[in-house]
Amino acid sequence: MCPTPLPTTNGHANGHPTEEMVAIDTSAPALPPSLNETSSTPQAPPSVKSHKGLYARPSDFLSNTSNWKIIESTLREGEQFANAFFTLETKIKIARMLDDFGVEYIELTSPAASPESKAHCEAICKLGLKRTKILTHIRCHMDDARLAVETGVDGVDVVIGTSSFLREHSHGKDMTWITKTAIEVIEFVKSKGIEIRFSSEDSFRSELVDLLSIYRTVDKVGVNRVGVADTVGCADPRQVYELVRTLRGVVSCDIETHFHNDTGCAIANAYAAIEAGATHVDTSVLGIGERNGITPLGGLIARMMVADPEYVKSKYNLPMLREIENLVAEAVEIQVPFNNYITGFCAFTHKAGIHAKAILANPSTYEILNPSDFGMTRYVSIGHRLTGWNAVKSRVEQLDLNMTDEQIKDATAKIKELADVRTQSMEDVDMILRIYHKGIHSGDLKVGQSAVLDKLLEQHMPSRDSSPNGKANGVNGNGTPAKRQRIEEGSA
Ligand SMILES: [Zn+2]
């Protein structure tokens, strides 16, 4: 059983393990299994450079998995999330934290959106962020461009719909008009000495010829980046790979990508894009954005850590991830999802006995990411019916109890017997182990004396019925564990 998650933490209250969990040493590296297979020692050394390019294939000459940048759009795309309403104070906190985390860019809502948006944009530009450049995202229109360059941003992200859907039903312009306006806006922004990106919108439902033709034109005009956007979330990784690879052969500037998550491909698409030669990926914290959002920052980090951990660790302050997610979750009144990448409350919790045994021997067996890289802790859950004696042994050692393997196996059998009725809390498990240990060393208990152990437990364990239905929870009205009660009934 997973413990109840708490809002705005990864579920381990105040960073501490919840009940029935054992925190275990996370200093051992989690390496991809294939490295261990080829390793001559059971534990690979802590820093293994050969991580790099682990999955690189000879044909991946386009791949940028060791050279890519983040355009963090929580303060633009994220503002389009249904629950989002960021005050300036919140925006400043988020911007500063993303700067500390180390993202290369943050993207802000267009100053043309509202007077407040313009004021916020100006205020954030005045913060003097350490390393993060500030962009704002505008329509391909001279009025918007003039407003944007006045705010003090480091660059402008220009977007226009190129799909037939958007050309017919949104702005109603043809490709000739789009090209002419794009050139005008780009030249104006460039004349101010700041960065400029030109992106199509709904790129995957646009005509390939139109797309490549306008990208080639804006590349020649001198944009810093062209952008590919899966605005409706329809693209799959193979389509992304093919489009970006084709585009890579057409333009010499950087390629930015933006993926919506309507069909669950946002991270995979970003990865495919990077493999095909894209240089920048748009993210938002927890993936918040229009509809169900875009590539989440943490999910992208998790994915890229596997491709090149040294690159990721050298660029980003990874232990801050949880703090940023908590801040944004609180700001938009959501919880960090239980299965969130890296910070989800059971992301590093191991339960099955066979997993626990292997994890204790070598974490890489069942982990591709090392929790300690993110300031997280690995847990082995032991108070349940699937537990194994190896996991219990690790707890015995933590409690500094002197027990033989035979005794630990015997105590484990009791834990499993009780957990078959209801999951035992960490406190319960500790109590069982302490009572068992005391019984053995006082001579009151011997291995295999289940009934004697039951008596000792009955004497020393306080009743613990928090459920309205004691029976269902394994405890009868007298506070006696129902399992033992059942056994007594059966033997009567
Ligand atoms: Zn979007």
- The answer to whether residue 53 sits within a structural domain is no
- The answer to whether residue 17 sits within a structural domain is no
Structure confidence by residue, pLDDT tens digits, 97-129: 999 999 999 999 999 999 999 999 999 999 999
- The answer to whether residue 386 sits within a structural domain is yes
Structure confidence by residue, pLDDT tens digits, 138-195: 999 999 999 999 999 999 999 988 877 766 766 667 888 889 999 999 999 999 999 9
How large is the average pLDDT for residues 274-278? 96
In CATH, what number is assigned to the domain containing residue 312?
3.20.20.70
Q: Please say which residue of 266, 287, 316 terminates a domain.
A: 316
In the chain, % of residues over pLDDT 90: 62
Q: Please say which residue of 282, 301, 316 terminates a domain.
A: 316
Ligand 1: centre distance to CA 227 (Å): 12
Q: In which residue are the tokens 């590296």 written?
A: 29
Terminal Cα distance for the chain, rounded: 33
Q: In which residue are the tokens 């820093």 written?
A: 47
Catalytic, out of 350, 355, 384, 437: 355
* Stated length of the chain: 492
In a shared domain, residues 246 and 104? yes
Q: Is 443 left (phi over 0), alpha (psi -120 to 50) or beta?
A: left
Closest among 355, 28, 57 to 36, alpha carbons compared: 28
Ligand 1: centre distance to CA 427 (Å): 47
Structural domains in the chain (count): 2
Ligand 1: centre distance to CA 76 (Å): 9
Ligand 1: centre distance to CA 175 (Å): 21
- Please identify every residue whose CB atom is under 5 Å from ligand 1, which is an ion: 77
In a shared domain, residues 284 and 396? no
Residue ranges with strand state E in 47-143: 69-72, 105-108, 133-139
Ligand 1: centre distance to CA 275 (Å): 21
The one-letter amino acid at 455: K
Structure confidence by residue, pLDDT tens digits, 388-411: 888 889 888 888 899 999 999 999
In a shared domain, residues 143 and 245? yes
Predicted structure pTM score: 0.78
How large is the average pLDDT for residues 245-255? 97
In a shared domain, residues 80 and 208? yes
Q: Which range of residues forms the domain containing residue 432?
A: 382-491
Q: Residue 378: how many CB atoms within 10 A of its CB?
A: 23
Does 137 qualify as catalytic in the annotation? no
The set of residues, in sequence order, having a beta carbon less than 8 Å from that of 159 and lying 6+ positions away, is 137, 138, 139, 140, 199, 200, 201, 227, 229
Q: Please say which residue of 278, 294, 316 terminates a domain.
A: 316
Ligand 1: centre distance to CA 131 (Å): 24
